[in-house]
Amino acid sequence: MTRQGVRRVILKCMLPPGAIIMLTAAVRDLHLSCPGEFLTDVRTSAPALWVNNPYITPLREDDPDVEIVDCHYPLIHQSNKAPYHFIHGFSQYLSEILKVNIYPSLMSGDLHLSAQEKQWMSQVREITREEVPFWIIAAGGKFDVTIKWWSSSRYQEVVDAFRGRILFVQIGDEKHYQPTLSGVLNLIGRTNLRQLIRLVYHSEGVICPVNLPMHLAATVETRTNRSPRRPCVVLAGGREPSQWEAYPHHQFLHTVGALRCCDNGGCWKARTLPLGDGAPNDRPDRMCVDVVGLFRGVWI
């Protein structure tokens, strides 16, 4: 039986997993800010991110006492000028909807590995039969926002530069663009979301664009024999403002303020070249300005 006076809330969000990690932070901070006032459950696109979460209580949608909230983060529309991080997005929205004050407590999401999961052998050790230190490298990306892709030849240069010193483990979803790098341990398409979390747990560091592995690098705890802060090199470009996406201990490589197209914040464009797939992101207004200028016959 639930305690009288405790509000029961189901939070819904079908955005990609990276955003759901930010929602895990909001749920944590709701309970820390309002202890004992809420029971929370979720319906999201990534159930694996909520495994072992101490703030989740199974609730029924048909319970008349349950509040159902569709979660958004409209704060993103102020991200180019206002001093907010993505971590504030859902918290501010839920503060308004639930009429409470939610205060962000940590610059990370809230994921929980069980003691048993931490004891399991990493996929890398299963394959190599050795306890080899490794970095994760995510060289691909989704087709809806190709502007996040970095040149595969440049990723290859990084791998080659550290050959013999760092083992890179390439990860990614097979449904997305995934250039095959040489000299890496290829785990593309071989990790579900929970396996990816455990892989990050065992990793020494991460190289990626602004995507799910970036958020995992900041959120997943490190092994007890390592630094509590996992290094992550983020190839960010000029799409998103650093204050909205960057974590304090990451190397966030961006061009915001260095180019005319993003001199006053992130450009928030979607593609660098049209794919001809009929998607809204193929429109000129969703393209990198250089591409738009080329279409018009002039360079902007």
pLDDT at 228 over 90: no
Residue with tokens 């450009």: 267
Residue 274 domain flag: yes
> Do 24 and 127 fall into the same domain?
no
pLDDT at 276 over 60: yes
- The predicted-structure confidence for 64-95, as pLDDT tens digits, reads as follows 999 999 999 999 999 999 999 999 999 999 99
| More confident site: 49 or 292 | 49
pLDDT at 25 over 70: yes
| More confident site: 25 or 272 | 25
pLDDT at 130 over 60: yes
> Do 86 and 27 fall into the same domain?
yes
Q: Which of 64, 98, 132 is the last residue of a domain?
A: 98
> What pLDDT does 36 receive?
98
pTM of the model: 0.93
Residue 109 domain flag: no
> Do 43 and 158 fall into the same domain?
no
> Do 41 and 11 fall into the same domain?
yes
| More confident site: 225 or 31 | 31
> Do 119 and 240 fall into the same domain?
yes
Q: How confident is the model at residue 267 (pLDDT cuts 50, 70, 90)?
A: very high
> What pLDDT does 289 receive?
63
Q: Tell me the CATH number at 202.
A: 3.40.50.2000
Structure tokens, 145: 């926002």
Residue 40's nearest CA partner among 89, 86, 98 is 98
pLDDT at 294 over 60: no
Range of the domain at 131: 115-260
Residue 283 domain flag: yes
> What pLDDT does 291 receive?
44
Residue 110 domain flag: no
Q: How far apart are CA 37 and CA 6, in angstroms?
A: 5
Distances 250 to 92, 116, 219, 231, 269 between C-alpha atoms, Å: 24, 29, 12, 6, 23
What total number of domains does the chain contain?
A: 3
Average pLDDT, rounded, for the chain = 93
Q: How confident is the model at residue 224 (pLDDT cuts 50, 70, 90)?
A: confident
> Do 165 and 53 fall into the same domain?
no
> Do 168 and 198 fall into the same domain?
yes
Q: How confident is the model at residue 139 (pLDDT cuts 50, 70, 90)?
A: very high
Considering the chain, what percentage of its residues have pLDDT values greater than 70?
95
Burial grade of 56 (CB within 10 A; 0-12, 13-18, 19 or more): middle
> Do 157 and 196 fall into the same domain?
yes
What DSSP assignment string belongs to the chain?
-PPTT-EEEEEEE-S-HHHHHHHHHHHHHHHHHSTTSEEEEEEES-GGGGTT-TTB----TT-TTEEEEE---GGGGGTTTSS--GGGHHHHHHHHHHTS------SS------HHHHHSPPHHHHHHSS---EEEE---B-GGGGGGPPPHHHHHHHHHHTTTT-EEEE---TTSB-PPPSSSEE-TT---HHHHHHHHHH-SEEEESSSHHHHHHHHSPPPTTS-SS--EEEEEETSS-HHHH--TTSEEEE-TTTSGGGBTB-----BSS---S--GGGSGGGB-HHHHHHHTTS--
> What pLDDT does 226 receive?
81
Q: How far apart are CA 234 and CA 213, in angstroms?
A: 10
Residue 90 domain flag: yes
Residue with tokens 């013999």: 164
- The predicted-structure confidence for 184-212, as pLDDT tens digits, reads as follows 999 999 999 999 999 999 999 999 999 99
Residue 190's identity, in one-letter code, is: R
Q: How confident is the model at residue 3 (pLDDT cuts 50, 70, 90)?
A: low
Q: How far apart are CA 62 and CA 46, in angstroms?
A: 22
Q: How far apart are CA 187 and CA 299, in angstroms?
A: 40
Residue 2 domain flag: no
Residues in CB range of 131: below 8 A, 6 or more apart: 125
